[in-house]
């Protein structure tokens, strides 16, 4: 089980990302634009840097839906390796079974 504070921090990052997503996209578009002058690009860069760090998508960490574990996360099911194994053993994940040879 992950610490509650870490899970709550992730929730806060998701909310900040939702809040600043459009503004961040517009500023990035302005920075990459060929039609703007260097001064306008510089201003857009400064505004982008002034946004909260946690509003960036790359600051988010994928977590297990059941326990909040961040390591060993499987994107397909949204579970960590531990819960993934128990789900596969119980037959809850269609098309997956324990490898044996």
CATH number of the CATH domain containing 93: 4.10.830.10
Q: Are both 37 and 80 inside the same structural domain?
A: no
- Segment 8-36 mean pLDDT: 95
Give the whole-angstrom CA distance, residue 97 versus residue 88: 6
Based on the domain organization, do 56 and 17 belong to the same domain? yes
- The pTM score is 0.74
Can you read off the two tokens belonging to residue 45?
A: 């860069």
Band (38; pLDDT cuts 50, 70, 90): very high
The residue segments making up the domain with residue 70 are 62-101
Query: What is the predicted pLDDT for the residue at 93?
Result: 86
The values of phi and psi at residue 73, to 5°, are: -85, 135
Residue 101 has pLDDT above 70, yes or no: no
């Amino acid at each position: 089980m992950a610490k509650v504070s870490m899970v709550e921090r992730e929730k806060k990052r998701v909310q900040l990302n939702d809040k600043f997503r459009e503004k961040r996209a517009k500023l990035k578009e302005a920075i990459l634009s060929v039609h703007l002058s260097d001064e306008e690009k510089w201003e857009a860069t400064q505004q982008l840097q002034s946004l909260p760090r946690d509003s960036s998508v790359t600051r988010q960490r994928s977590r297990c839906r059941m326990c909040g574990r961040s390591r060993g996360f499987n994107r397909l099911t949204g579970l960590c390796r531990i819960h993934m194994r128990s789900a596969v053993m119980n037959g809850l994940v269609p098309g997956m079974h324990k490898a044996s040879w």
